[in-house]
Structure 1
Amino acid sequence: MIKAFVVDQDRLHPVDHLTANSVDVVWVDMLNPTKDEEKAVELWLNVLIPTREEMEEIEISSRLYAEKGAYVMTATLPAHTDGDQPEMLPVTFMLAGERLITIRYHEPRAFQTFPMRAEKTDVGCTSGETILVSLLEAIVDRLADVLERTSRDVIGISHDIFDSKEKKASKRDRNFKEIIHRIGSKEDLISKIQDSLLTLQRLSGFLANVVTQDVGGKVIRARVKTIARDVSSLSDNASFQTQKINFLLDATLGMINIEQNGIIKIFSVAAVVFLPPTLVASVYGMNFEIMPELKWDLGYPIALGVMVLSAILPFWFFRRKGWL
């Protein structure tokens, strides 16, 4: 599918047909393009459109290059970022003269919100360069929103770990399992966002050289530098969240070990407490013919008292030492 846009009073307006408005079109957004659509755009620009396989190459030389006066830049962007399993696919931005072409195979949120905003308000869209910079700003804003939401979720996980109100061990165990699952989801999300920020960092550096060579003016160069600084700041924030998530994972595993050690300690104390009474009962359970205590009138209560006392003394000793 091809979406074409023209500029009218610094605002974007969609047009129905690319060929009918080929002279005025400044932005062509290609979503899941067919072979025929790719050929039509190639004939219009006289520049080859990268294939999906070429877009997925990880080498910088395959993602950032110039060809026949056109600058090709590819970044990995997330889509469906409302959840913890975003769809990560490459998006290519092509600057060919005053025109911008974007090729993508998924739906990042910025490609939905930016055209609607640019159609209603003046965001300074006068050429392909200004549209690209504004679009990148919208993408970075969206990534910032995702990291803010993730930060709030991580704070919630930390609260559930250290301020749990559950008293039953079985419920705490279930909670810890759920927390580990949530930690894993957040770590995977932040890792994907970091990958996206890395590609945007490289793209902004390449774009800074492009607009420096062009006559776009100081304003565009300043905006590109701002994008680069914002991406760097978001990358630092993502690294900090990764460290915090690793800490929370270690803390959760530590809490699980404490729970397990507490259970093992209870069994150990119970075994030690009941060992002396068991010894006394074993002695008087032996089948010897001569056992003087068997003739005592108070032999039975005395044996019970010795067993109770032998159980109380180890328990008292453990309490005095602070082991319980």
Structure 2
Amino acid sequence: MPTETTTDHPPSQETLLQLLQKHKLVSDMLHKQDMPRHELVESLVRKQNLVQLHQTLEKIDPVEIAHLLEDLPPEDQLFIWDQVAEDRKEAVLREMTLDVLQVLGHREFKKERSGIKAFELNEGRLREIAINTREGLVETKPIWVDLVDPSFEERVWVGDFFGIDLPDPDRLGDLESSARFYVEENGEIHLHSDFLLDREDISRNVGVAFILYKDILFSVRKEELPVFRLQRLRALSQPNYVTDARDVLLDLYAADAEYSAEALEDVYRGLETVGKQVLSKKMSDEDAATMLTAIAHEEVLNGLIRRNVLDTRRAVSFLMRSRFLVKQQLDDAQQILRDIESLDGHTTFLFGKINFLMDATVGFININQNKVIKQLTVLSVVFMPLNIIAGVGGMSEFSMMTQGIPWPISYGAFTIGLGIVAWITYLLLRFFENRKLRNTSTAVSKTPD
């Protein structure tokens, strides 16, 4: 523990060391004091010091922070590291020495719900390992290490122990298609795949990074997925369900294909419900809008499933071509590809059904619009002769013709005449329309079966 500051440090580092020493002194004094509301005072003082530390660290260059950590004892290294902002830790770690990295790697993670899970084989079943400490991993031999939304610190901690670089789950979508499956010179097998997450509010594909290295499967993703929960439950409950890391990877892809098939069944059920309403005799514009929204949702989900199974096919084909699988695993991979092939036919059929329902719904909207236009056309035809007569009635000749007749009587008779003309015009339109309908029905009845 540094007891005094030196002039060898730049001013920013010197300030940081002073704050660190002040934090320790205040903590020791508060723990030794017996005063009312001790915990409240301690909390306020600690928060004030931590705020000053955070502000100072924000102003210091990451290279200087890394050099400062080299000169501190391990407990101070861990304390300062905890105060570094998450978005700056990566830049600091790039400048750290191996000794400091090992200190950070040996620290304990005491999250209530850790995003790191490890599994080993125990009597043919997967058994979860608690890995809150590095020593916990040393005593076991996991075949699968699963990381859900790990922090940068956690990825460095696990990666340093196993000797690999774990990718950032936030950047999995930045990879090009050609860089999703490859093998490193040290034998690491990298696969970046999409797994379907089907929810009622929104469905999407979630990127997952797999690394096969030294008979251990590492998986990194941003959020929990039903496929992974299903795989864990099966492997935990069924003996000899998996025998090594490659079995775990293949079964994850098989479970993904199964999950996609269940999602397709949901699409079928959704389209059946929409189809019953679309094929009804009457549909308002509001109902049509609701149907279009439902159809669009099913179309998006069907597209996600198609993209998901395509990505799974590419991953399984890569494993088969790279000759990483034994004979039994090759047979399992072939079965996965056959299952995916059957799903392709279903997605193609659903796209056709979606297009049909979309066209039918749009057709109902057009029919409703045609009815409105027809009503407007009838009104315009009815009022067309009235406009002509009204134009004649507004001329001076009409006043000359009705000279001597009181104007209430003359214009009242004129208005009644307009109504009679409008009624006759409407009856003529109905007559011709009914005649057309009778002719159409007669022609249909005479058509031979």
**178 and 141 in structure 1: CA distance in 2 versus 1, 3 angstrom threshold:** same
In the TM superposition, what whole-angstrom CA distance separates every residue of 1:121-161 from its partner, at most 9, and x where no partner exists? 22521100111111221121111111110111012112211
Matched, 1:321 2:432: no
- The answer to whether the 8 A contact 1:123-1:134 is kept is no
- Give the structure-1-normalised TM-score: 0.85
Matched, 1:290 2:408: no
Matched, 1:57 2:174: yes
Aligned to 1:255: 364
Alignment of 1:95-114 (within 5 A): 95-114=212-231
Alignment of 1:71-110 (within 5 A): 71-79=189-197, 81-110=198-227
Which residue of 230, 235, 256 maps to 1:118?
Answer: 235
**281 and 318 in structure 1: CA distance in 2 versus 1, 3 angstrom threshold:** farther
Aligned to 1:33: 150
Letter in 1 for 2:215: E
Cα drift, residue 260 of structure 1: 0.2
Which residue of 28, 44, 55 maps to 2:161?
Answer: 44
**283 and 29 in structure 1: CA distance in 2 versus 1, 3 angstrom threshold:** same
In the TM superposition, what whole-angstrom CA distance separates every residue of 1:105-131 from its partner, at most 9, and x where no partner exists? 111101112212211122521100111
Cα distance in 1 between the residues matched to 2:426 and 2:136: 96
Matched, 1:312 2:427: yes
* SS of match in other structure, 1:89: strand
- The answer to whether the 8 A contact 1:74-1:93 is kept is yes
Cα distance in 2 between the residues matched to 1:123 and 1:134: 13
- The answer to whether the 8 A contact 1:26-1:128 is kept is yes
Matched, 1:227 2:336: yes
Cα distance in 1 between the residues matched to 2:149 and 2:199: 22
Which residue of 288, 313, 317 maps to 1:205?
Answer: 317
**225 and 16 in structure 1: CA distance in 2 versus 1, 3 angstrom threshold:** same
Cα distance in 2 between the residues matched to 1:109 and 1:95: 22
- The answer to whether the 8 A contact 2:169-2:208 is kept is no
Higher relative contact order structure (alpha carbons within 8 Å, sequence separation ≥ 6)? 1
Letter in 2 for 1:177: A
- The answer to whether the 8 A contact 1:70-1:95 is kept is yes
- The answer to whether the 8 A contact 2:183-2:189 is kept is yes
- The answer to whether the 8 A contact 2:169-2:209 is kept is no
**285 and 315 in structure 1: CA distance in 2 versus 1, 3 angstrom threshold:** farther
* SS of match in other structure, 2:174: coil
Cα distance in 2 between the residues matched to 1:235 and 1:10: 34
Q: Identity percentage over the alignment?
A: 28
- Give the structure-2-normalised TM-score: 0.63
Letter in 1 for 2:424: L
Aligned to 2:119: 5
**164 and 47 in structure 1: CA distance in 2 versus 1, 3 angstrom threshold:** farther
Moved over 6 A (4+): none
In the TM superposition, what whole-angstrom CA distance separates every residue of 1:154-183 from its partner, at most 9, and x where no partner exists? 1211221112555xxxxx111111111112
**113 and 19 in structure 1: CA distance in 2 versus 1, 3 angstrom threshold:** farther
**143 and 223 in structure 1: CA distance in 2 versus 1, 3 angstrom threshold:** same
- The answer to whether the 8 A contact 1:72-1:92 is kept is yes
- The answer to whether the 8 A contact 2:149-2:169 is kept is no
Cα distance in 1 between the residues matched to 2:281 and 2:304: 30
**144 and 290 in structure 1: CA distance in 2 versus 1, 3 angstrom threshold:** same
* SS of match in other structure, 2:277: helix
Which residue of 172, 178, 191 maps to 2:290?
Answer: 178
- The answer to whether the 8 A contact 2:204-2:304 is kept is no
Cα drift, residue 60 of structure 1: 3.1
- The answer to whether the 8 A contact 2:216-2:245 is kept is yes
Letter in 1 for 2:362: L
* SS of match in other structure, 2:164: coil
Letter in 1 for 2:136: A
Aligned to 1:297: none
Cα distance in 1 between the residues matched to 2:437 and 2:359: 27
Matched, 1:146 2:260: no
In the TM superposition, what whole-angstrom CA distance separates every residue of 1:236-259 from its partner, at most 9, and x where no partner exists? 322322232223222211210111
Larger radius of gyration between Structure 1 and Structure 2: 2
* SS of match in other structure, 2:274: helix
* SS of match in other structure, 1:106: coil
Letter in 2 for 1:161: V
Alignment of 1:151-166 (within 5 A): 151-163=268-280
Cα distance in 2 between the residues matched to 1:221 and 1:275: 80
**201 and 33 in structure 1: CA distance in 2 versus 1, 3 angstrom threshold:** same
- The answer to whether the 8 A contact 2:117-2:128 is kept is yes
Mean Cα deviation higher: 275-284 or 98-107: 275-284
Aligned to 1:273: 382
Cα distance in 1 between the residues matched to 2:336 and 2:221: 21
**306 and 140 in structure 1: CA distance in 2 versus 1, 3 angstrom threshold:** closer
* SS of match in other structure, 1:262: helix
- The answer to whether the 8 A contact 1:28-1:101 is kept is yes
**274 and 53 in structure 1: CA distance in 2 versus 1, 3 angstrom threshold:** closer
Which structure 2 segments of 5+ residues have no match?
1-114, 406-412, 441-449
Pairwise CA RMSD: 2.9
* SS of match in other structure, 1:25: coil
**186 and 306 in structure 1: CA distance in 2 versus 1, 3 angstrom threshold:** closer
**310 and 83 in structure 1: CA distance in 2 versus 1, 3 angstrom threshold:** closer
- The answer to whether the 8 A contact 2:147-2:220 is kept is yes
